[in-house]
Structure 1
Amino acid sequence: MASSRELRSPEPFLLLLLLLMAAVASSSAAAAAGNVVELTLLAGAQEKGAVCLDGSPPGYHLQRGFGSGEHSWLIFLEGGAWCNSIQSCSIRKMGVYGSSKFMKAAEFNGILSNDQQVNSDFYNWNKVVIRYCDGASFSGDAEAQDKDGSTLHFRGLRIWEAVVDELMEKGLATAKQAILSGCSAGGLAALLHCNDFHAKFPKEVSAKCLPDAGFFLDVEDLSGERHMWSVFNGTVHLQLYNAYSDFFFAFFYQNVKEVLPKSCLAKKDRTECFFPAELVKSITAPTLILNSAYDSWQIRNVVAPDGSFSGQSWSSCKTDIRNCSSTQIQVLNGFRNKFVDDVEVVKDNGGWGLFIDSCFTHCQTPFNFSWNSQASPVLGNKTIAKAVGDWYFERTYEVKEIDCEYPCNPTCSSQLPT
């Protein structure tokens, strides 16, 4: 047994080893914590009526830029589906997507990373993640009574406006370069607010939009139902057009016109105007659409949602595209062809970009390995990070890449998030 003296006085080399291990651990912890960004709650949220579903103040994470990126800003809108009924919004307000009471610090990776090796073009920019707590892609301005008698606040539009106003005071107003991005429902929000974002800056400021996995399709599911239409229709009528009288309807309709394109509302159903295929027709700001043509979330929830097929016939396929039969792949190719048709409306738009890969994934900018690593999808000999950088900084004539049908692209990794 070792003596008490030996326990108190380790050998010099052991002491040195322990000190080195402690230093490495401390350095690693500091490095890990360096890209963890604390939550900031919106000041005066209640007075502005800019609150989450439960009435709590919305939040955002701001990581300051430095060096050459001091006057460059990336605004990223968080995603997380939608709530389209009193019941679903009531459930949602009890979690992180409906209340800031559950929000914590966030780790910034991918396009949000401050690591120059991972994110060479944007690593030192001011980067902001606006948390998603309204359930309607930052678009509603209404309220409703919950079953328990409390108020459900549908204030996404006010959250967008109030948070951006606060960021303008913190330096966004003097930006020389700016990008509005977002993932999933946040990608849809980036499309909804793209023109408004672009209009906040002088013409000499390069302000562009980068929706990631936000291009949702209106297609029939396996049972012939328009599942995505049903979701959006409920969301639009609950949150954007929730009116209690003709007067209030007119009031809210005016507010909605700030989000949905007037040109679309003049001739199409308001729900149809919520779909990206219509939104992109009215966007004048330079925009790059980043998406998979085999978007894994849409395959699972739009093409083959639970209840749209019998037994377990699609369960394995929609979990992993590699498990799909040739007949099932034909169905997915039909979805892919519709996707390509819908995005090609902007193919000839100057200043626009496309990066439409054939990977079974959903959201690719916020993750290091899909954004810029050996596992990243490649189109036109470019990773996503390279393609986005070339498009934004206009280093090439154009970036408009549409992948071939699955499984043609060997760079689509099974490690990508699905």
Structure 2
Amino acid sequence: MIGLLLVLLPISGLSMDLRKLDAYPGAQCLDGTPGAYYIEKSSKAGNKRWQLFFEGGGWCYNDKDCANRALGQLGSSSDYPSTIGRQGGVASPDCDINPTFCEYNSVYLKYCDGNSFSGALDGSVTVKETGQELFFRGSYILDAILEDLVENEGMDEVEELNLSGCSAGGLSTFLHSDHVRDKVQQLVGRPLSKYGSTPVSGFFLMNRQNVHDEFVMAEQIKTIFSLSNATHGVHRACIEGTTDAEKKWLCNTAPEVMKYMDSPIFVLDSSFDSWQSGCIMMNKAVDYDNTPTKDMPNGNCGSADGWEECAVAPENCGAEEIYGVVEYQGSFIRLLTGTQGYQNDHSGAFIYECFTHCAAAGDEYASIAINGVLMKDAVNLWWDSLGVSSTKSFLPKLYGLDSTNPNSSCQ
């Protein structure tokens, strides 16, 4: 089974207007077109309260893969519509679904650089097979968006700011949370009264073997890290703290960056995410000659020999396979809770058992519960506690060895 396309499409709600970064020459998508974002201002927030949301969409893993990506909206802004609808879940304008941020000014950061807004290549890459010229400028796009919001959209008055995003956008949230806080405070010339991030389904176990002990995802991320010059576009303290040059690519992953984070974060994720199961745990490598097309990226997800049915749903997993699933859940929780970023005051998590991806960016945000507490209410408790008290985390139980899910709200 070829990999799934990870794109968080905006859904219903208020209209957001396109802003292209034509005034920022270095802020380019893969194909050289200008980066962009969408914005919808709230009459109730003034210019004081803002939420920035990173678009998702997987990654590209070599020059040919990125060239295919440059032909669509995940690599080019040439076909972006002038307006889109608002997102759901933690970014929804519906206060019944999203009581915390429904009335904030909403910004949707369009993803077109192939590596979670982390590319920092001043030049370009010429694709061997096609001669296409590729630009890896995601970190420049991010900074240009922040500058444009402050200079032209009223964010110079910001007091409260939440950073979020789903999937590859969730990883962007981990990678850039500290930087966004510092950059915005630098631009406005003062500290924010409240800042925190809510990454959705972005804590990927990228440095992990698949079920056949092959480091497929690790090799893919190593390649895009190098190709995009992300050494200069990911978490600076992580890069400086990683003395082994061969391991700096790990700073392109959430578990490693969480060791260095110091801004408040509340992680929203599944301990057995439906994308990770197929595309990290149960994937297969793709050779260069069979690089996926722009419509089917991310490798041979769910194709690990003997695991094809288990990759589709945990209830399909046999007795031996479910041990692997439970072990994966345990690794996920151990890696998350052992980091500095998680253990900081005012940080925490809502980690559920549901076999989903990006649930916190949809209606399940208002229905999934842990010990009677809905995800939306857990986020509200965390946001209200910032600067006042420490944050309580909500952690999952593991799957039963008969493949049963212990969380009834996942049904």
Q: TM-score interval w.r.t. the shorter chain?
A: 0.7 to 0.9
Q: Does 1:354 align with 2:343?
A: no
Q: Please tell me whether the aligned partners of residues 35 and 113 of structure 1 are also in contact (alpha carbons under 8 angstroms).
A: no
Aligned to 1:171: 154
Structure 1 residue 70: deviation in Å? 4.5
What is the distance in 1 between the residues matched to 2:32 and 2:46? 35
Aligned to 2:257: 279
2:199 equivalent among 203, 208, 211: 211
Larger Rg computed on CA atoms: 1
Structure 1 residues 314 and 106, CA gap change in structure 2 (3 angstroms): farther
TM-score of the superposition, structure 1-length normalised?
Answer: 0.82
Aligned to 1:3: none
Structure 1 residues 387 and 40, CA gap change in structure 2 (3 angstroms): same
Q: Does 1:127 align with 2:106?
A: yes
What is the distance in 2 between the residues matched to 1:325 and 1:349? 39
SS in structure 2 of the partner of residue 101 of structure 1: coil
Structure 1 residues 234 and 271, CA gap change in structure 2 (3 angstroms): same
Structure 1 residue 348: deviation in Å? 3.2
- Structure 1 spans left out of the alignment, 5+ residues: 1-31, 242-252, 414-418
Instruction: List aligned pairs for 1:5-154, cutoff 5 A.
Output: 34-45=13-24, 47=25, 49-68=26-45, 70-104=47-81, 105-108=83-86, 109-142=88-121, 143-146=124-127, 147-154=129-136
Structure 1 residues 386 and 258, CA gap change in structure 2 (3 angstroms): closer
What is the distance in 1 between the residues matched to 2:391 and 2:237? 28
Q: Please tell me whether the aligned partners of residues 260 and 273 of structure 1 are also in contact (alpha carbons under 8 angstroms).
A: no
Aligned to 1:383: 374
2:212 equivalent among 220, 223, 228: 223
Structure 1 residues 259 and 152, CA gap change in structure 2 (3 angstroms): farther
Instruction: List aligned pairs for 1:151-300, cutoff 5 A.
Output: 151-169=133-151, 170-199=153-182, 200-201=184-185, 202-217=190-205, 218-240=207-229, 255-256=232-233, 259=236, 261-267=238-244, 269-300=247-278
Question: How far does the alpha carbon of each residue in 1:159-200 deviate from its partner, in whole angstroms, 9 at most, with x for none?
Answer: 011011111121222111101111111111111111111222
What is the distance in 2 between the residues matched to 1:340 and 1:272? 18
Q: Please tell me whether the aligned partners of residues 180 and 208 of structure 1 are also in contact (alpha carbons under 8 angstroms).
A: yes
Higher helix proportion, which one?
1
Aligned to 1:303: 281
| CA RMSD across the alignment | 2.2
Question: How far does the alpha carbon of each residue in 1:47-95 deviate from its partner, in whole angstroms, 9 at most, with x for none?
Answer: 2x11100111112110102224641000001111111211000000011
Match of 2:171, as an amino acid? L
SS in structure 1 of the partner of residue 58 of structure 2: coil
Aligned residues: 364
Task: Report percent identity of matched pairs.
Answer: 28
SS in structure 2 of the partner of residue 322 of structure 1: helix
Match of 2:258, as an amino acid? V
Question: How far does the alpha carbon of each residue in 1:235-281 deviate from its partner, in whole angstroms, 9 at most, with x for none?
Answer: 1111116xxxxxxxxxxx5x347656244333561112222111011
TM-score of the superposition, structure 2-length normalised?
Answer: 0.83
Match of 1:389, as an amino acid? N
Match of 1:141, as an amino acid? A
Q: Does 1:326 align with 2:319?
A: yes
Match of 1:273, as an amino acid? C
What is the distance in 1 between the residues matched to 2:12 and 2:242? 47
What is the distance in 2 between the residues matched to 1:204 and 1:103? 32
Aligned to 1:371: 365
Runs of 4+ with deviation above 4 angstroms: 256-260, 306-312
What is the distance in 2 between the residues matched to 1:174 and 1:71? 6
What is the distance in 1 between the residues matched to 2:305 and 2:115? 32
Q: Please tell me whether the aligned partners of residues 125 and 134 of structure 2 are also in contact (alpha carbons under 8 angstroms).
A: yes
What is the distance in 2 between the residues matched to 1:282 and 1:86? 30
SS in structure 2 of the partner of residue 194 of structure 1: helix
Structure 1 residues 400 and 69, CA gap change in structure 2 (3 angstroms): farther
Structure 1 residue 33: deviation in Å? 7.1
What is the distance in 1 between the residues matched to 2:215 and 2:145? 34
What is the distance in 1 between the residues matched to 2:61 and 2:241? 22
Structure 1 residue 326: deviation in Å? 2.5
